[in-house]
């Protein structure tokens, strides 16, 4: 045995093993840092580890069987012992090993200096965890036929909502908690991801008219079972089961906290109606149009059994509104039909149960998006969150309502708290990434997308959010690819359709805009392609009030102005809003990302000789841009709006500077500087250079999609002879 070990030493097997292990550690450490930066999926690191693990025995076998000589690599048995240079090779290996050790120390040092935040993020989160925090995982269906998953999930959600009533408890959001359903993740990992110290898991077994619920409260850090119990009841007592489990959990968690000795309870009803309600609510959560239509039918049957079951009434209201054709919804029911029905149902639910959180939340949604009463919406949504602090929908809608009254800081704070508690809740995640894009906080957006992407993979929300960032960075080709994939997974998302239109506009793909875009982009595409007649048909059918007027009117104004019919634009505003003054009051442009329609409208009034209105609109543009600057808005939309303002004000130098800033920030719309707003810059060398740089950028992006260089549609006679005043 001694001779064998001596031979291992002579052939440098031990040195090779040590060098291999150090090299492996070094490569894996560097790879870990790089993979985290580029947000690579976890399996990439696992592949690295597997490859090196498989290579280790091969390296040892190679070092035993072969020897490095002055003539190259030879089999060991072919080398004369007298001519062997294994000693010299060993010394070289020693030097290599010491060099790698120095590199290891350098990597560790660099990691601590430059990457300490990401490396220490999990421990810091753990140390900041609220000791009375909990996640309620979706209970497992253990029924004989395995067809009660919706019931198990519904029971879990009711427990989650009941526990959220306890002020001393921090409860993780539903979407994130239920995301681990069917996965075999370690509870400690789930606790870290959701930033909670306790996890409630369990199972439901439903057979005939009997139900057995098993619940376990586990300490996430070590898997210690705080309590475990089983509850068997007749199905008619399901609400009593919920209360009993919730009481047990609150007692176990809050035994040292005074003043908490009871929790709320779910609204009782007939077991069959409750069963239908649970299944319908699960389908509504999916936001899938077909599933939501099925939910409407189920809720109708539930209300036939118990026509005053308020939770079912309000879920029917929500599904009705979500299936409307309103921007942000998922269906095709005309808003003029969907909204009154949803309003009637919400009012009915509130009359039956004034303390129902769901009813106040949906009431707030309708007040904000349908009735445009932000203050009343905020009041209703705050009341919903007082009744159920864990209602993610209500918090997300409240954020939107605050944004509508220019309280961007409050809106953002709500989103950040919500995403921190419920990172996999898609609407808030998407809204927060859009907020980061609005303020130019790309690093924060990338970190958020990376964090959530590591949990959920490349789903439609991740692809969509990544596409938004690409649009705002001036990378429309990447945006087209990502948002197109997102729409393939979720084709009914009108918000994704809107951003897809922006991405297509960035590569001047007007044909696809017409085929796949929302009405605003169809109008733009048809008009740009010279099909004004069809564009006017779409415009005639457009409900401008539900199409976000600040942005949509900018598009419409550019088209009217470019055709020399500015008076038509002014008349259109009068027909739709009564007057320009009413438009400014009802839909102020300051709620958007730039100045919206103000620039095109100012140009239109200049064309008809109304300089007084021009000055009023220019003052509004200045105030809007100043307010947005104070709110931290920083993106190419704002720079482009400054270019409009300065061009209309006769400040050629300021206009060119803002144009260049817009281009440098990611502006990539081929015809963006073709508007009549910029007429005063025609012939300026700097203006022509910027337009050429923009055209080159658009062609470069088109090339990434294998598209030929862009060639504008021939200008019409009407556009060539556009009058000026």
Whether 38 has a pLDDT exceeding 70, the answer reads no
The top-scoring range by mean pLDDT among 115-129, 280-294, 552-566, 609-623 is: 609-623
pLDDT at res. 370:
76
- At 113 the pLDDT is 55
Q: What is the mean pLDDT of residues 635-641?
A: 94
Banded pLDDT at 125 (limits 50, 70, 90): very low
- Average pLDDT value over all residues in the chain: 83
CA separation for the pair 458, 466 (Å, rounded): 10
Query: Residue 717's pLDDT is what?
Result: 44
pLDDT digits (tens, 9 = 90+) for 548-592: 888 899 999 998 998 889 999 999 999 999 999 999 988 888 766
Alpha-carbon gap, residue 288 to 272, rounded angstroms: 24
| pLDDT at site 472 | 95
> Which of 165-169, 276-280, 356-360, 487-491 has the highest mean predicted lDDT (pLDDT)?
356-360
Query: With 90 as the cut, is the pLDDT of residue 537 above it?
Result: yes
Maximum distance among all alpha carbons in the chain? 104
> Taking 80 as the threshold, does the pLDDT of residue 533 lie above it?
yes
Confidence band for 70, pLDDT divided at 50, 70 and 90 = low
For residue 374, how far is the Cα from the chain centroid? 24
Instruction: Give the pLDDT score at 351.
Output: 96
Residue 664 banded pLDDT, cuts 50, 70, 90: very high
Average pLDDT over residues 504-512: 95
- Residue 42 is predicted with a pLDDT of 61
Q: How many CA atoms lie within 13 A of 660 on its CB side?
A: 9
Of 348 and 331, the structure prediction assigns the larger pLDDT to 348
Look at residue 74 in the predicted model and tell me its pLDDT: 66
Mean pLDDT for the stretch of residues 231-240: 70
Instruction: Look at 351 and 287; give whichever has higher pLDDT.
Output: 351
Quick: pLDDT tens for 409-444.
899 999 998 988 888 888 889 899 989 999 999 999
Residue 117 — pLDDT band, cuts 50, 70, 90? very low
Residue 152 predicted with pLDDT over 60: yes
Q: Of 309 and 72, which is predicted with more confidence?
A: 309
pLDDT over threshold 70, residue 273: yes
This prediction has a pTM of 0.69
Per-residue pLDDT averaged across 3-23, rounded? 76
Strands 225-234 and 210-219: antiparallel
Calculate mean pLDDT across residues 517-528.
91
What is the C-alpha separation between 215 and 230, in angstroms, rounded? Answer: 6
- The residue that leads in pLDDT, 226 or 501, is 501
Helix axes 426-438, 442-456, angle to 10 degrees: 160
Residue 435 vs residue 33, higher pLDDT: 435
**DSSP one-letter string for 319-387:** HHHHTBSSTT--S-B-HHHHHHHHHHHHHHHHHH-TT-HHHHHHHHHHHHHTS--HHHHHHHHHHHHHH
User: What is the pLDDT at residue 723?
Assistant: 36
Q: How many CA atoms lie within 13 A of 299 on its CB side?
A: 25
Give the mean pLDDT of 102-116.
66
E-state strands within 131-262? 133-136, 140-141, 170-171, 198-207, 210-219, 225-234
The pLDDT assigned to 43 comes to: 63
> Does residue 146 carry a pLDDT above 50?
yes
Give the lowest-confidence range in 13-22, 85-94, 294-303, 406-415: 85-94
Which pLDDT belongs to residue 256? 33
At 127 the pLDDT is 39
Give the per-residue pLDDT at 713: 64
217 forms beta bridges with 200, 227
Long-range contacts of 689-692 (CB under 8 A, 24+ apart): 690/656, 690/659, 690/660, 690/663
Poorest-pLDDT segment among 34-38, 141-145, 525-529, 604-608: 34-38
The pLDDT score that the predictor gives to residue 45 is 72
pLDDT at 660 > cutoff 90 = yes
pLDDT at 480: 97
What is the average per-residue pLDDT within 475-503?
Answer: 92
Kindly tell me if the per-residue pLDDT of 448 is higher than 70.
yes
Mean pLDDT across the stretch 109-134?
A: 52
The b/e string for 383-406 (b: 16+ C-beta within 10 A; e otherwise) is bbbebbbbbbbbbbbbbbbbbbeb
Q: Which residue has the higher pLDDT, 399 or 454?
A: 399
pLDDT at 89 over 60: yes
Query: Which residues have C-beta within 8 Å of that of residue 606, sequence separation ≥ 6?
Result: 614, 648, 725
Cα–Cα distances (Å) from 149 to 3, 145, 172, 285, 695, in that order, read 66, 10, 21, 14, 55
- Per-residue pLDDT tens over the stretch 173-193: 878 888 788 777 778 878 877
Quote the percentage of the chain above a pLDDT of 90: 40
Beta strands in 105-174 (DSSP E): 133-136, 140-141, 170-171
Task: State residue 253's pLDDT score.
Answer: 54
Spell out where 119-185 has E strands. 133-136, 140-141, 170-171
Q: How confident is the model at residue 725 (pLDDT cuts 50, 70, 90)?
A: very low
The alpha helices in 587-610, defined as continuous H runs, are: 598-607
Q: Which of 37-41, 166-170, 647-651, 689-693 has the lowest mean pLDDT?
A: 37-41
């Amino acid at each position: 045995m001694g001779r064998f070990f001596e031979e291992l030493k002579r052939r440098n097997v031990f040195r090779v093993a040590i060098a291999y292990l150090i090299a492996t550690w070094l490569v894996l450490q560097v790879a870990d840092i790089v993979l985290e930066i580029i947000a690579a999926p976890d399996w990439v690191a696992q592949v690295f580890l597997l490859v090196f693990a498989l290579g280790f025995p091969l390296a040892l076998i190679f070092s035993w069987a072969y020897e490095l000589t002055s003539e190259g690599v030879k089999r060991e048995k072919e080398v004369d012992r007298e001519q062997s240079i294994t000693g010299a090779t060993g010394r070289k290996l020693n030097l290599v090993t010491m060099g790698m050790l120095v590199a290891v120390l350098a990597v560790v040092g660099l990691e601590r200096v430059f990457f300490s935040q990401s490396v220490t993020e999990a421990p810091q989160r753990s140390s900041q965890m609220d000791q009375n925090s909990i996640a309620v995982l979706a209970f497992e269906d253990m029924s004989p036929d395995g067809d009660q998953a919706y019931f198990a999930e519904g029971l879990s959600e009711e427990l989650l909502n009941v526990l959220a009533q306890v002020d001393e408890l921090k409860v993780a959001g539903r979407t994130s908690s239920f995301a681990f359903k069917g996965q075999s993740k370690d509870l400690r990992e789930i606790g870290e991801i959701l930033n909670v110290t306790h996890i409630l898991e369990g199972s439901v077994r439903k057979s005939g008219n009997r139900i057995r619920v098993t619940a376990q409260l586990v300490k996430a850090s070590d898997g210690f079972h705080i309590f475990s119990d089983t509850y068997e009841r007749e199905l008619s007592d399901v609400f009593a089961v919920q209360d009993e489990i919730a009481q047990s959990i609150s007692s176990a968690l809050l035994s040292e906290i005074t003043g908490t000795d009871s929790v709320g309870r779910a609204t009782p009803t007939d077991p069959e109606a409750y069963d239908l309600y649970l299944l319908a609510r699960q389908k509504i959560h999916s936001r899938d149009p077909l599933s939501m239509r099925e939910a409407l039918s189920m809720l109708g049957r539930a209300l036939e059994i118990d026509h005053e079951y308020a939770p079912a009434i309000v879920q029917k209201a929500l599904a009705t509104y979500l299936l409307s054709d309103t921007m942000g919804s998922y269906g095709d029911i005309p808003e003029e039909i969907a909204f009154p029905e949803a309003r009637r149902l919400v009012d009915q639910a509130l009359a039956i149960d004034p303390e129902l959180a769901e009813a106040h939340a949906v009431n707030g949604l309708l007040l904000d998006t349908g009735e445009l009463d932000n203050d009343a919406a905020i009041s209703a949504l705050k009341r919903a969150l007082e009744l159920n602090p864990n209602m993610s929908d209500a918090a997300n809608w409240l954020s939107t309502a605050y944004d509508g009254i220019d309280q961007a800081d409050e809106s953002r704070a709500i989103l950040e708290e919500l995403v921190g508690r419920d990172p996999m809740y898609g609407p808030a995640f998407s809204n927060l990434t859009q907020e980061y894009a609005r303020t130019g906080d790309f690093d924060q957006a990338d970190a958020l997308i990376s964090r959530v992407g590591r949990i959920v993979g490349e789903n439609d929300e991740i692809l969509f959010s990544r596409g938004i960032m690409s649009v705002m960075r001036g990378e429309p080709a990447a945006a087209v690819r990502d948002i197109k994939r997102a729409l393939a997974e979720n084709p009914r998302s009108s918000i994704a359709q809107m951003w897809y239109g922006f991405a297509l506009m960035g590569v001047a793909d007007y044909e696809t805009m017409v085929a796949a875009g929302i009405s605003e982009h169809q109008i733009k595409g048809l008009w740009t392609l010279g099909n004004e007649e069809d564009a006017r048909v779409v415009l005639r059918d457009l409900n401008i009030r539900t199409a976000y007027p600040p942005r949509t009117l900018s598009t419409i104004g550019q088209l009217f102005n470019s055709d020399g019919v500015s008076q038509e634009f002014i008349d259109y505003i009068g027909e739709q809003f009564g007057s320009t003054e009413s438009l400014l009051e009802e839909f102020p442009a300051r709620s958007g990302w730039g100045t919206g329609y103000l620039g095109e409208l100012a140009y239109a009034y200049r064309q008809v000789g109304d300089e007084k209105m021009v000055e009023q609109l220019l003052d509004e543009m200045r105030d809007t841009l100043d307010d947005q600057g104070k709110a931290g808005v920083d993106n190419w939309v704002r720079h482009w709006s400054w270019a409009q303002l300065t061009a209309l004000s006769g400040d050629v130098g300021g206009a060119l500077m803002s144009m260049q800033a817009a281009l440098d920030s990611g502006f990539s719309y081929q015809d963006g500087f073709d508007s009549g707003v910029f007429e005063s810059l025609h012939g300026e060398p700097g203006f022509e250079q910027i337009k050429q740089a923009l055209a080159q950028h658009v062609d470069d992006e088109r090339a990434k999609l294998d598209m030929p260089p862009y060639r504008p549609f021939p200008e019409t006679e009407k556009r060539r002879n556009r009058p000026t005043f």
